[in-house]
Amino acid sequence: MPHSIRKKNITNDDQVLSRFSFRLIIVTLTVWLIVGSVVIYLRDISIWLGVWDRFSINEINYSKYIDNRESAEIFEGQLIRTRQGYRNGALIVGPTTLYSRELIPVDSSSAYMMNFDVSAVSNGANGKTGSYIFAGIVPFDKNKNQISNPRTHLYGVAWSVPVKMADGIRNFRGIFSPNGDGLTLLPADTAYIKLAIDVNYGDPTAAVIVSNIKFERSIRGPVGEKK
């Protein structure tokens, strides 16, 4: 005797559930696409909104060459993104000099402060010396030519200063002005500057996290300072 085939009746509840599931999938995919797009274009959105931090350490803002040649490989091979405080930071391994790509316009009759944080994650090859830090500015004239007098690199924020793991987060700051002394003297013909940060000097095993970079007009006066 042949078996009878029973047809499954699709109830209204089944149809409602099916439509709800389909809509839920569509909404989930839409939200996923929106969130993904925001993440991908976060930098562009930040620039459009005017909240982009031009001093954040990344391949957009910094180069290892003063003439802005592409050097993204140092960010792909040596740097691991991290965060300290509210600005982007980077873990830098081995001797590295970073120059800001952007020529920052300045008034040579004013004082400016450069400020940033460093913390060591390695004490270097012998486990004792830490990372040696140099930091300051590179001045340019109105024709955007590099100024060599008194020096091409005015490392008035830090000059061969060791940072060790035991130091924790170390803050460096320096004021450049027309009344500065030595490496904090802002040359009279300066129209632009670039930031310069040299870390892990002479030691490929040294490593530091650099973050919270700031450069702004100072209201504290012309006296240079370095820690």
At 176-187, the pLDDT tens digits run 999 988 899 999
In a domain, 117, yes or no: yes
Look at residue 4 and tell me if it is in a domain: no
Q: Is the pLDDT of residue 74 over 70?
A: no
What's the CA gap between 161 and 200, in Å, rounded? 10
Q: Which domain holds residue 149?
A: 55-217
| Same-domain status, 155 and 185 | yes
Same domain, 143 and 84: yes
Task: Indicate the pLDDT class of residue 222, thresholds 50, 70 and 90.
Answer: very low
b (16+ CB within 10 A) / e for 187-212: beebbbbbbbbbbbbebeebbbbbbb
Please check whether residues 190 and 126 belong to one and the same domain: yes
Domain co-membership, 43 together with 60: no
Residues 90 and 165 placed together within one structural domain of the fold:
yes
| Lowest mean pLDDT across 170-174, 179-183, 190-194 | 179-183
Residue 40 lies in a domain: yes
Q: Give domain status of residue 150, yes or no.
A: yes
At CA 53, angle to CA 47 and CA 56, rounded to 5? 125
Token pair, residue 156, equals 């008035």
**What distance in Å separates the CA atoms of residue 92 and residue 197, rounded to the nearest whole number?**
11
Closest CA to 61 of 82, 47, 48: 47
Are 105 and 40 part of one and the same domain? no
157 and 134 share one domain: yes
- What is the distance between the alpha carbons of residues 216 and 181, in angstroms, rounded to a whole number? 19
DSSP 32-58: HHHHHHHHHTHHHHHHHHT---TTS-S
CB atoms within 10 A of CB 47: 13
For residue 135, give the nearest of 54, 72, 208, 80 by alpha carbon: 208
Domain CATH code at residue 208: 2.60.120.260
Q: Quick check: is 121 in a domain?
A: yes
Whether residue 110 sits in one domain with residue 22: no
Q: Are residues 70 and 180 located together in one domain of the fold? A: yes
Q: Is the residue at 223 inside a domain?
A: no
What is the DSSP code (8-state) at residue 4? P
Asked whether residue 40 falls in the same domain as residue 63, the answer is no
Peptide bond into 150 cis (omega under 30): yes
Number of domains in the chain: 2
Segment 101-152, tens digit of pLDDT: 888 999 999 999 999 999 898 888 888 788 999 999 999 999 999 998 888 8
2 belongs to a structural domain:
no
Q: Are residues 113 and 41 part of one domain?
A: no
Sheet with strand 112-122: strands edge to edge: 79-84, 87-93, 207-217, 112-122, 170-176
**pLDDT tens sequence across 22-64:** 778 888 888 887 777 666 666 555 545 544 455 666 666 777 7
**Residue 7 within any structural domain of the chain:** no
The answer, yes or no, to whether residue 21 has pLDDT greater than 90, is no
Q: Do 89 and 135 belong together in one domain?
A: yes
C-alpha 122/C-alpha 22 separation (Å) is 53
- Do 190 and 139 contact (CB within 8 A), yes or no? yes
By C-alpha distance, which of 201, 189, 214, 196 is closest to 89? 214
- Taking 50 as the threshold, does the pLDDT of residue 225 lie above it? no
